[in-house]
Chain A
Amino acid sequence: MSAPAAAHYTSTGLDSRKIAIWAFIGSECMLFVSLISTYLIYKGRSIVGPFPHEAWTSPSGQHFKPILNIPVTSASTFVLLMSSLAMVLALSAVQNKELPKRTTGDRILGSSKLWLWMTALLGTTFLGFQAFEFTSFVHEGLTIRTNLFGSSFFTLTGFHGAHVTAGVIWLLTLLAIDYRRGLGPKDALNVDIAALYWHFVDVVWIAIFTLVYLIK
Chain B
Amino acid sequence: MEHDSTHSDPVAVADHHAHGDDDAYHPGWSTYWKVALILLVITVVEVWIYYIPSFSASRAFVPSLLAMSAIKFGIVVAFYMHLKYDHKLFRALFTGPLFIAATTLIALLFLFGQLVARFGPGK
Residues of A within 8 A of B (CB): 3, 6-15, 18-19, 22-23, 25-27, 29-30, 32-33, 36-37, 40-41, 43-44, 70, 74, 77-78, 81-82, 84-85, 87-89, 91-92, 94-95, 109, 184-189, 192, 195-196, 199-200, 202-203, 206-207, 209-211, 214-216
Whether the pair B20, A81 counts as a contact (CB closer than 8 A) is no
Q: Contacts of A74 on B, CB cut-off 8 Å?
A: 43, 47
Q: Contacts of A87 on B, CB cut-off 8 Å?
A: 80
20 A-B pairs besides A12-B3, A26-B98, A85-B80 with CB distance below 8 A are: A7-B13, A10-B13, A12-B1, A12-B89, A13-B6, A19-B90, A22-B94, A36-B105, A40-B109, A41-B114, A81-B36, A81-B39, A87-B80, A89-B32, A92-B26, A109-B29, A189-B17, A192-B22, A214-B46, A214-B50
- Most chain-A CB neighbours within 10 Å: which of B17, B19, B94, B96? B17
Interface size on B, residues (CB 8 A): 64
Whether the pair B89, A19 counts as a contact (CB closer than 8 A) is yes
- Most chain-B CB neighbours within 10 Å: which of A25, A109, A189, A214? A214
Is B84 an interface residue, CB under 8 A from the partner? Answer: no
Known: A29-B101, A40-B114, A85-B32. A22 touches B76 (CB 8 A): no
Q: Contacts of A195 on B, CB cut-off 8 Å?
A: 80-81
Whether the pair B6, A12 counts as a contact (CB closer than 8 A) is yes
28 contacts between A and B (CB under 8 A): A7-B10, A8-B10, A8-B13, A10-B13, A12-B3, A12-B6, A13-B2, A15-B22, A22-B93, A22-B94, A23-B93, A26-B98, A30-B101, A33-B104, A40-B105, A84-B76, A84-B80, A91-B26, A92-B26, A92-B32, A95-B26, A186-B18, A200-B81, A203-B76, A206-B73, A206-B76, A214-B47, A214-B65
- Closest partner residue, chain A, to B35 (CB atom): A85
Whether the pair B13, A18 counts as a contact (CB closer than 8 A) is no
Q: Contacts of A188 on B, CB cut-off 8 Å?
A: 20-22
- Closest partner residue, chain B, to A197 (CB atom): B81
Q: Tell me, in angstroms, the Cα distance from A88 to B117 when the chains sit together.
A: 41
Whether the pair B36, A29 counts as a contact (CB closer than 8 A) is no
Interface of A is mostly: helix
Whether the pair B76, A202 counts as a contact (CB closer than 8 A) is yes
Whether the pair B97, A29 counts as a contact (CB closer than 8 A) is yes
Q: Tell me, in angstroms, the Cα distance from A46 to B117 when the chains sit together.
A: 16
Q: Tell me, in angstroms, the Cα distance from A185 to B28 when the chains sit together.
A: 15
CB distance from A204 to the nearest CB of B (A): 9
Within 67-123 of B, Cβ neighbours of A (below 8 Å) are at 68-69, 72-73, 76-77, 79-81, 87, 89-90, 93-94, 96-98, 100-102, 104-105, 108-109, 112, 114, 117
Whether the pair B104, A37 counts as a contact (CB closer than 8 A) is yes
Whether the pair B94, A210 counts as a contact (CB closer than 8 A) is no
Q: Contacts of A215 on B, CB cut-off 8 Å?
A: 61-62, 65
Q: Contacts of B101 on A, CB cut-off 8 Å?
A: 29-30, 32-33
Q: Tell me, in angstroms, the Cα distance from A7 to B9 when the chains sit together.
A: 9
